[in-house]
Amino acid sequence: MARSPARILIVGAGPAGLRAAEMLAEAGLSPILVDEAPRVGGQIYRQPPRVPGFMRTAGELYGAAADRARDLFVTFDRIRNRIDYRPGSLVYDLIDNRAIVARDGKSAEIQFDALILATGAMDRIAPAPGWTLPGVYTLGAAQIALKHQGCTIGQRVAFVGTGPLLLLAAHQYAKVGVVPAAVVVPSHFRSFAAAALRLIGMPRDLLLGLVWLLGLKRRGVPILFGHRLTEVVGDESVRAIKVRTRGEQREIACDAVAIGYGLQSETQLADLAGIKFAFDAARRQWLPETDPLGRAIGRKDVYLAGDGAGMLGADAAEARGRLAAHALMVDLDISHVTYRPKKDLDAVDRAEHLQLAMRAAFELPDDFFAAVSDETLVCRCEQVLAGELRGVAGLMGARELNRAKSYSRVGMGRCQGRLCGHAAAEILADKLGVTLDSVGRMRGQPPIKPVSVATVAERRS
């Protein structure tokens, strides 16, 4: 009897998921590709809706990455009829070899023999007084407004945080005529300059960063290195931000704020899949363990690709998508006559070097989370203050994040700790005087993102 073809599920249609789908389609397989968004591209290459008034060129949407975006979209069009593409689909739980998916208000199960998780990353948030006011967005949300909806989050936007995405998003807003009120960076300029010297051997990346920085300076945007956000000022909307450096405080008028302190991998599905995790000290995050090709450690039928296995950027995500698909095909004894993994492994190594430089450039001060006041809201879903979290650590003996969660309810809300979990761990570790890995990680719980009770009730085979 002939062996039936493997049922392969790919979660995420960004650069990693699309390249994985391409490899599998070229080998004669027909993977199922599910994604939350209505169109492929992921966050980095998010596409606007196909409606009048939203037609913009790839150059306008993606800047220096326009050629890569075009190539991905051409690839998708080429393989579209050879894969089972399901947009607008949220995988919110994994049970054995079944993915539980919400789509159009209903739940369904997708059986799989092999799973590639290309779940991407999201903004890392550090709370400050007023960060929950209307008009405060993550950097990713500020980009979504620009790319997907053709609008900006305000006319005088303050950009606050760390990482290259901070400069990129501010640069993108300036290019469309919305000149930022300021770019606020808690790390010092000397760290940024030292990291730039490490990129001499990577001139393309160095030049790109300089273009963003000098473009902002040329438009008169204040770039405040060594400054910390102390408060977002406003009542029903944002009026200003307060920032501090060396004991001096200033107020900057603005009508919106975009915040992001680097990116964190979306690892909840990997957790539900039973994959082993290890603490990455450089990224200050627990990440799923894989071999160099993306095979998950702890479960032989799961593979990880792209930023969901650790932030390396869009170019490396494409390479890791191909590597994961290659590993899967090797394990299924399916040959791909033209592919050789060395080029993609080299691209991943190069991206690791770049990320090391970026982390050095945008390193947070050691006392950054210690400076979060007790009155600051950490968990907006459950209204948990930083002082309450510190009180749990001091009075109830909670020395592990999940124990602190059970006592304080931090991370028990709709976001399941995706927004507050990192800050909660940092604050708890600081209060206890221990390393971040010592407090553990917040365990994943389904649904990993909000779905309605009615959707869960609609579950069907």
Q: What is the C-alpha separation between 98 and 233, in angstroms, rounded?
A: 46
Q: CA 89 to CA 170: how far, in whole Å?
A: 30
Mean pLDDT of the chain: 92
Question: CA dihedral in degrees (348, 352, 354, 360; nearest 10)?
Answer: 170
More confident residue, 236 or 92: 92
Give tens-digit pLDDT for 404-425.
999 999 999 988 899 999 999 9
Q: 120 near 26, Cβ under 8 Å? A: no
CA distance 35 to 306: 14
Q: Which domains does the chain have, with CATH numbers?
A: 8-122+264-357 (3.50.50.60), 125-261 (3.50.50.60), 366-461 (1.10.10)
Residues composing the chain: 461
Global pTM? 0.94
In which region does residue 157 sit, left (phi positive, over 0), alpha (psi from -120 to 50) or beta (all else)? Answer: beta
Q: Mean per-residue pLDDT for 376-384?
A: 96
pLDDT at residue number 456: 82
Position 62 pLDDT exceeds 90? no
- Give the pLDDT band (50/70/90) at residue 4: low
Vertex 261: Cα angle to 259 and 265 (nearest 5): 115
Percent of the chain with pLDDT over 70: 97
Please list the alpha-helical segments (H only) found in 199-235. Answer: 203-218
Judge residue 342's burial from the number of C-beta atoms within 10 Å of its C-beta, 0-12 exposed, 13-18 middle, 19 or more buried: exposed
Confidence category of residue 461, pLDDT binned at 50, 70, 90: very low
CA atoms 444, 449, 454, 457: torsion sign: negative
Q: Strand order in 8-11's β-sheet?
A: 84-86, 32-34, 8-11, 114-117, 302-304
pLDDT at 10 over 60: yes
- Specify the 3-state DSSP secondary structure of 109: strand
Listed range (1-5, 223-227, 319-323, 331-335) with the worst mean pLDDT: 1-5
Distance CA 379, CA 422 (A): 11
Position 285 pLDDT exceeds 90? yes
From residue 370, give the alpha-carbon distance in Å to each of 386, 410, 420. Answer: 10, 18, 15
Burial 369-379 (b: 16+ CB within 10 A, else e): beebeeebbbb
DSSP single-letter state for residue 74: H
Residue 96, SS3?
coil
Distance in angstroms (rounded) separating the CA atoms of residues 120 and 265: 6
